[in-house]
A and B are shown apart, each in its own frame.
Chain A
Amino acid sequence: MQDVTKTLTTRASRRGVLKGSAALGLGTLAASSLGSRFAAAQDEPGSLEVFSWWTSPGEAPALQALFDAYLAKYPGTEIINAAVAGGAGVNAVAVLQTRLQGNQPPDSWQTHVGHELVDQYVVPGYCEPITDIYESEKWADVIPAGLVEQATWESNQYSIPVGVHRGNGFWFNKQVMKDNGIEVGDTMTVDEFFAAADILQKAGIPALALATKDTFAAAQTFENTLLGAVGPDTYRALFKGEAPWDSPEVRAAAETYAKMLDYVNPDHSALTWDGATALIIEGKAGFNSMGDWAYGEFVSKNAVDNVGWVSHPGTNGSFVLVVDSFTLPKGAPNAENAKRWLRVVGSKEAQEAFNPLKGSIPPRTDVNREIFSPYHQWSMDSFAKDALVPSCAHSQASSPAFKQAFYDASLAFVTDKDVDTYIAMLSDAQAMDAETTS
């Protein structure tokens, strides 16, 4: 009995030695970064709490890449991942709001730029400006001015963009298109969509995969349709309150949307957005109008080779911005670490690691294009040359109150397809918003 034990122990320790020598090989690789490690080890690494809504299989690894980039520079830091699950952050934003009102900020949180950043966090006084970090890191030299402006309020910057999503993607299953003899080119017009939709409908396949359980997709599909119908200038003016919602153009957009809704999957109200992308992956629906975080889902489910994309019908030449960024809270528990975090996530290395996993493109223009997928490169080209417009479905284009009204109106419209009521609700929301801001 004892002999047996002894043999087992020896075996175990031999294996241990083998492992040890393998670890030595890795150790030499890691030695190159020893210098910076040493510097960081001078003071206590402490902890860093990062709040986000990145929990899905397409998002969590991307967030982890940012953590890894941070830990590579500041090893030993205890990173607290305060991620809250739930479609496109609706649960998370609720949680964050209650935390901020309770003066319990994390060390940094994820937010979209534009109205979400300014209305919800900067104006109420939850954020510190990071203009000095912008200057010391020279971010303005590598991030397009149009985007920096979205992170700016009263000439100070308040967040650093880490990834740029394109909100007006229109995704499809190549095999389904092939099987039904539908040719999809580089772009798609509204008429081309309806032609394809009729073919799919005859084959018993819903042409438009929609998921309305978490509402934002109904609003997003409409804003894309609206953009296609009125063009980027009127689109911007509408959300700025400078163009009326009860115009013939908006009405035409609503009518197009109503027609598209004739082709949706009947169980849309039981699905969240990733349920709709799953319909595309499984070949159970034709197209899905969704931001390119869907790409992360396609990658994580090994479906990317069979998925094709164009811009949402009629929106070629426009880029709907959905930009994730990180902030510096007022009263951050670990303010020094929070600033380090912002420097890290704004760096070229971190953005190159993060974005391919997240399915977005870096806001920095000095990154290595080659490491990105064909889709990302396509999106980078669009980012460089197309009209950049903010997304209302993702809180960038309007106040949260208007967004809620936009959501509510869109959700009602998906079922009743009542154009008059839709237009009236949007006009009312605009009037209410004007009263609030005045």
Chain B
Amino acid sequence: MAVTSPSIPQEIARPVAGLRRQRFTLERALSPLLLAPSAVAIFVFVYGFIVYTFYVSLSNWKSAKPDLSLRRPVGVIYADLFSQTRFQIDLRNTVVFTIMFLILAVLGGLALAILLDRHVPASGFFRSVFLFPYALSFITTGVAWSWIFNPETGINLLFDAAGINRLLAAFGTGPLKPGWITDPAVIWQLNGPLATVFPAVGDWSLKLGVPVAMIPVAMAAAWQLSGFAMAMFLAGLGTISNEVREAAALDGASDFRLYKDVIIPLLNPITVSVLIILTHVSLKIFDLIFAMSGKGPGFATDVPGIFVYEMIFRAQRYNLGAAAAIVMLASVALVIVPYLARQLKSL
């Protein structure tokens, strides 16, 4: 669960030139030398291994026996991958999960930060509670929420206890008993409307919609990571000077206007950082879903992370698993590389 933002602070002052230059030539050479082991390790373990994985994706390695001969036509595995119904579902799920999770975690984190910005007693306690889930593993979170969103236990028992179902029975309707992570339905399907514009969509077997079982999963993820967003926003709020607030108050702005028109726009850079960090977490999501709902009913909660794991370690289709891993990496890079490039410029 390593998420942290890599915005890099400005160098305050660069080492000044002058007399040190000659005396410390040796020292200057020492710096890259001492950095080399770590740099080399990263180049091998990150970049070298990525190249290797990419090569595996182009190879014939699809059984227990490694076969690193090149498969021809080169790259056809990616066509195989994208034509797999399961992988198409996984891509849809990733998009849907990312959107739901970002809305819940970012808005939730912002709301909590604003509430805590309001001078309440015991704000330190509240802050600690909201950030607490961040210290837990995705596996623990997944296990805990799998019990809460199980149709036979958890939330549904609360509905019973609250008397909702007795009330519903009195009106002659069935009990309120959502299937949560076991519900296979895909709601808000866009296939019909899209087919009127792009007729080809009509032939798709993939349902473009929101898999219901993904909703509880996104909630669990937001539970875990909204505290991160809150901490980021709180830190940002702390940098907004009281003069800004007071000026707005003098202008007679309501609290609502103060936040909407002044403070939240000022937090924009932080919002961007939070969005980028959480999007990349969401694209990589694996452990939480693995422990909470698995692939879900009809792959309703399956994601590329699980697909890669199963293709490599269960089906032993190494090339297909590697290809899916490269697709995951590419999607993460799409979000992260521009961010890092911007950071590099500001160094």
- Chain A residues with CB under 8 Å of chain B are 90, 93-94, 97-98, 100-101, 119-121, 123-126, 212-215, 266-270, 399-401, 403-405, 408, 411-412, 414-416, 418, 421, 425, 436
Contact = CB atoms under 8 A, between A and B. Distances in A.
B152 A123 contact: no
Contacts of A403: 315
A98 B64 CA distance: 10
Interface string B59-71: 0001111100000
Interface string B289-305: 00001111111100000
Contacts of A415: 184, 297-298, 300
A260 to B, nearest CB: 16
B317 A412 contact: no
Interface string B149-163: 011100000000000
A93 B182 contact: no
A215 B300 CA distance: 13
B298 A414 contact: yes
- A-B pairs, top 5 by smallest CB distance, nearest first, are A415-B298, A404-B315, A94-B313, A415-B184, A124-B65
B63 A270 contact: no
Contacts, number: 96
Given A97-B313, A269-B297, A270-B182, A124 B64 contact: yes
Interface string B231-250: 00000000000000000000
B298 A400 contact: no
B146 interface: yes
B311 A213 contact: no
B313 A404 contact: no
Nearest to A436: B62
A100 B63 CA distance: 13
Contact of A411 (B62, B65, B299, B313): B299
Contacts of A215: 295
A159 to B, nearest CB: 15
B57 to A, nearest CB: 16
A266 B179 CA distance: 7
Contacts of A97: 64, 313, 316
A90 B310 CA distance: 9
B142 to A, nearest CB: 12
Nearest to A100: B64
Nearest to A269: B297
Contacts of B311: 404
Given A93-B314, A267-B182, A404-B317, A411 B63 contact: no
A266 B300 CA distance: 15
B166 interface: no
Interface of B: 62-66, 85-86, 146, 150-152, 179, 181-182, 184, 205, 213, 293-300, 309-311, 313-317
A99 B213 CA distance: 35
A125 B314 contact: no
Nearest to A399: B63
A400 B65 contact: no
Contacts of A408: 86, 299
Nearest to A437: B63
A421 B314 contact: no
Contact of B313 (A98, A267, A425): A98
A97 B182 CA distance: 31
Contact of A213 (B65, B85, B294, B316): B294
B182 A266 contact: yes
A53 to B, nearest CB: 13
B63 A119 contact: yes
Given A401-B315, A436-B63, 6 more contacts: A94-B313, A266-B179, A268-B297, A400-B316, A412-B86, A421-B205
Contacts of A101: 64, 66
Nearest to B65: A124
A120 B64 contact: yes
A212 B184 CA distance: 12
B301 to A, nearest CB: 9
A123 B65 contact: yes
13 contacts: A123-B64, A126-B64, A215-B295, A267-B152, A269-B213, A270-B293, A400-B316, A404-B315, A411-B298, A415-B184, A415-B298, A425-B85, A436-B63
B41 to A, nearest CB: 20
B150 A267 contact: yes
B65 A412 contact: no
B63 A266 contact: no
A124 B64 CA distance: 6
A267 B314 CA distance: 25
Contacts of B152: 267, 270
Nearest to A125: B65
A215 B65 CA distance: 25
Contact of A212 (B64, B86, B297): B297
Contacts of A124: 63-65
Nearest to B151: A267
B311 to A, nearest CB: 7
Contact of A400 (B85, B182, B314): B314
* Residue from A121, A266, A415 with most neighbouring chain B CB atoms (10 Å): A415
A421 B66 CA distance: 32
Given A411-B295, A412-B86, A94 B314 contact: yes
A123 B62 CA distance: 13
Contacts of B179: 266-267
B310 A404 contact: yes
Given A123-B64, A124-B64, A404-B311, A270 B184 contact: no
B151 A266 contact: yes
Contacts of B86: 408, 412
A256 B187 CA distance: 27
Nearest to B310: A404
* Residue from A100, A268, A270, A414 with most neighbouring chain B CB atoms (10 Å): A270
B298 A412 contact: yes
Contacts of A416: 184, 298
Contacts of A268: 182, 297
A212 B302 CA distance: 13
* Residue from A97, A212, A408, A416 with most neighbouring chain B CB atoms (10 Å): A408
A416 B205 CA distance: 11
* Residue from B146, B179, B294 with most neighbouring chain A CB atoms (10 Å): B294
A269 B313 contact: no
B165 to A, nearest CB: 15
A155 to B, nearest CB: 21
Nearest to B147: A270
Contacts of B315: 400-401, 403-405
Given A121-B64, A400-B316, A269 B296 contact: yes
B208 to A, nearest CB: 15
Contacts of A414: 297-298
A93 B313 CA distance: 8
B184 A269 contact: yes
Nearest to A402: B315
B151 A270 contact: yes
Contacts of B150: 267, 270
Contacts of B300: 415
Contacts of B205: 418, 421
